[in-house]
Amino acid sequence: MEQRTEIASMGEFGLIDHLTRNNETRQASTLLSIGDDAAVIDHFGRQTVISTDILVEGVHFDLMYTPLKHLGYKAVAVNVSDICAMMATPTHITLSIALSNRMSVEAVEEFYEGVYAACEQYNIDLIGGDTTSSQKGLFISVTAIGEIRNDQFVTRSGAKVNDLICCTGDLGAAYAGLQLLEREKRIFLENPGVQPDLQQKSHIIGKILKPEARLDVVEWLQEQQIVPTSMMDISDGLSSDILHICRASETGCIIYDEKLPIDPETKEMAQEFGLSGTSCALNGGEDYELLFTISQSDYDKIVLSEKISVIGYITAAEEGMHLLTRQGNKHKLVAQGWQAF
């Protein structure tokens, strides 16, 4: 009988490793291939960064509560975030969409309004793509291109023992926002007369519907001449993503529970759902904040930025990956973030 392996048994990253195990590098200009937030090629002497991300209706967004303008913005921002995660500056995107016949020209225009707003925000040009039809909802794929301005791209694999682990912004908010929108959807479907009151939750709803890439932080780090030793963006959740840095760098880590930046709206929402703010921050996903390590000598400069929190430090691989609570308890960090399969 023919062998049939469930994709879920491998998971997203196991599947990628499996499918690319025989992929060869033929071009001397390929500086960094599959496995990081973006690839890097030497384009006639300049380091160029390339990344692709896909958004699928029903998996990445629900059109019942997602305004199309926000969706257009998000499709660009999540790709720009991957470029930022290499310490690169985004310059161009291509956009491919498969449109379902449920959509009108006006609806697609609304989506493009968001795309153009993001292009303006990040100072990038939309230079091409593909437009086709779909029988199964809306599919959006963006490829983003960026440039390294100082020949110093940053990968996931450079973290060293005793480096400090930093993240930008706050964590868990997008997850809390998604839970809130899903709850209001359920209430609305049961009783369409009820008006949701989302006024008090604009931060968490903003984080899920219209995230921002942290280009501002990349630029600040460049101004301060801080070169992180490793970097990635947080899309699946801190617990999963810090493990990527530790595996790639062959290190362990300690994360301090009490140092995790969590917005009060996230904590409130977590409580309503019987969760802790910490579990939202660790496992939520779609934060699109930057996660990076710096050498201790950069600490004095890093604390000058209100946008950055120091949340832990890198240890030797043998020490494993742990969360340290305020009470001094050590919990093994388990990747419990978003799983694509």
Q: Which of 9, 8, 4, 36 is nearest to 20 (CA)?
A: 36
Q: Is 60 part of any known ligand binding site? A: yes
Q: Is 82 part of any known ligand binding site? A: yes
Choice between 7 and 340, CB closer to ligand TPS = 340
Q: Are 81 and 215 in contact (CB under 8 A)?
A: no
In the complex, least distance from residue 280 CB atom to ligand TPS, rounded to whole angstroms: 11
Estimate to the nearest angstrom the gap between the alpha carbon of 123 and the chain centroid. 20
Q: Is 142 in the site for ligand TPS (CB under 6 A)?
A: no
Q: Is 219 in the site for ligand TPS (CB under 6 A)?
A: no
Give the angle 296-298-301 at the CA atoms, nearest 5°: 135
| Binding to ligand TPS in span 70-89, by CB under 6 A | none
Pattern 271-290, ligand TPS, x by CB under 6 A: --------------xx----
Amino acid at 26: R
Q: Is 37 in the site for ligand TPS (CB under 6 A)?
A: no
Q: Which of 293, 259, 278 is nearest to 155 (CA)?
A: 293
Q: Is 62 in the site for ligand TPS (CB under 6 A)?
A: yes
Choice between 58 and 264, CB closer to ligand TPS = 58
The residue behind tokens 């995660």 is 85
Pattern 41-60, ligand TPS, x by CB under 6 A: ------------x------x
Give the angle 51-173-81 at the CA atoms, nearest 5°: 15
- What is the three-class DSSP state of 137? coil
Q: How far is residue 38 from each of residues 34, 191, 238, 268, measured CA to CA in Å?
A: 8, 45, 19, 35
Choice between 10 and 161, CB closer to ligand TPS = 10
| Binding to ligand TPS in span 236-255, by CB under 6 A | 236
Choice between 142 and 227, CB closer to ligand TPS = 142
Q: Are 40 and 148 in contact (CB under 8 A)?
A: yes
Q: Is 235 in the site for ligand TPS (CB under 6 A)?
A: yes
Q: Are 220 and 305 in contact (CB under 8 A)?
A: yes
- What is the three-class DSSP state of 206? helix
Looking at 75, 148, 178, 238, which residue binds ligand TPS (CB under 6 A)? 178
Q: Are 73 and 116 in contact (CB under 8 A)?
A: no
Residues of the shown chain interacting with ligand TPS in the complex, contacts defined by CB under 6 A: 53, 60-62, 178, 235-236, 285-286, 338, 340
Binding-site residue set: 37, 51-53, 60, 82, 112, 129-130, 156, 233, 235-236, 286, 338
Binding-site residue set for Mg(2+): 37, 51-53, 82, 130, 233, 236
Binding-site residue set for ATP: 112, 129-130, 156, 235
